[in-house]
Amino acid sequence: MDRREFLKAIAITGAAFTIKNVGGNMDLFSQTISKSSTDAIGTTSAKYDLVAVMGGEPEVMFQKAIAELGGMSVFVKKGQKIVVKPNIGWDKVPELAGNTNPKLIAEIVKQCLSAGAKEVKVFDNTCDDWKKCYTNSGIETAVKKAGGIMVPAHEESYYREISLPNAKKMKKAKIHEAILDCDAWINVPVLKNHGGANLTISMKNLMGIVWDRRYFHNNDLQQCIADMCTLDKKAILNIVDAYRVVKTNGPRGKSETDVVNPKGLFMSQDIVAVDTAAANFFNQIREMPLDHVAHIGNGEALNLGTTKLESLNVKRIKL
């Protein structure tokens, strides 16, 4: 298997994986580990375009990934106001994977503060009742314990209109003030199936910073998702939570039978590349060719990043 086939086959996790059904649960088993492509737990100071981690708890995978990029202080500077944007759209407990894992969000908040951030705010424009989403997702408690601040996003007064001159269809949008007023922000979606967009990952997670989500659905969802990512203020990091994944009936999910637990994480500043890697990974769980997630290709067409993972410097870690 050449390098390009290798990357496509296992979504650049760095090992040949098969997905095995055991009692109705999906588990990823490593068959071969090559030191030339995958390192066991270790640290380097190298700079990578993308880091993929498999096999650990959410906070541990993040710790390993951010260390490979030089630590959080590379991205967060002393005195900065930082926003962390998870998916908190649904009134679901963490086990149902409708939202970003609270352990991951807590660790990101902690590391931002340790790097010297003046404050770390967390929010999402939720689909279900915002108070229930914040509480039952476990994210509100995790953020507060970590020293962060939860901010509401349920009223139009929190949003200000901006223009998107490089967009094709969505030329303007009302964006949450926390994003517009911060020094830097971090995009932390959860990887899952989505009935409209087929997958929701980093690019689609930007719908949670916008007031009027109906516009997306009424005006070419896949293009509007890409258009939203032309926002001038790009996320300093895109961190895809693939610890638990809703494989069917997304984005809400109905029960634990919709959820698998592959224990993965992908991190990059390139929003198109990280979504490509995560989408390829999802395709190993349930068939979902990349061209079925059209907003990723639309983003590449807008010069927002690359789907050509073989051209990138990638770090793969198996825990």
Residue-level pLDDT at 34: 28
pLDDT digits (tens, 9 = 90+) for 239-295: 999 999 999 999 988 899 999 999 999 999 999 999 999 999 999 999 999 999 999
Alpha carbon distance 70, 76 (integer Å): 11
pLDDT digits (tens, 9 = 90+) for 118-130: 999 999 999 999 9
Which of 23-32, 45-54, 306-315 is predicted most confidently?
306-315
The verdict on whether omega for the bond into residue 58 sits within 30 degrees of 0, i.e. cis, is: no
**CATH, residue 64:** 3.40.50.11440
Length of the chain: 319
Mean pLDDT of the chain: 88
In this predicted structure, the answer to whether residue 3 has a pLDDT above a threshold of 50 is no
Q: Give the Cβ contact number of residue 43 at 10 Å.
A: 12
Domains contained in the chain, number = 1
Q: Give the Cβ contact number of residue 94 at 10 Å.
A: 20
Name the β-bridge partners of 238.
187, 268
Q: Strand pairing of 50-54 and 264-268? A: antiparallel
When pLDDT is averaged across residues 25-39 and rounded to a whole number, the result is 34
Task: Average the pLDDT over each of 12-21, 133-142, 167-176 and give the range with the smallest value.
Answer: 12-21
Residue-level pLDDT at 4: 43
Grade residue 31 by pLDDT with cuts at 50, 70 and 90. very low
In this predicted structure, the answer to whether residue 189 has a pLDDT above a threshold of 80 is yes
Reported as type and span, the H/E element at residue 296 is: helix 294-301
Residue-level pLDDT at 26: 37
Residue-level pLDDT at 125: 98
Grade residue 51 by pLDDT with cuts at 50, 70 and 90. very high
When pLDDT is averaged across residues 131-155 and rounded to a whole number, the result is 98
Q: Give the Cβ contact number of residue 68 at 10 Å.
A: 22
In this predicted structure, the answer to whether residue 20 has a pLDDT above a threshold of 70 is no
Residue-level pLDDT at 254: 86
CA pseudo-torsion sign 146, 148, 149, 153: negative
Q: Give the Cβ contact number of residue 31 at 10 Å.
A: 9
Alpha carbon distance 214, 280 (integer Å): 28
Assess contact for 293 and 204: CB atoms under 8 A. Answer: no
Alpha carbon distance 167, 196 (integer Å): 20
Grade residue 2 by pLDDT with cuts at 50, 70 and 90. very low
Task: Average the pLDDT over each of 37-46, 149-158, 168-177 and give the range with the smallest value.
Answer: 37-46
Residue 280's domain comprises: 3-318
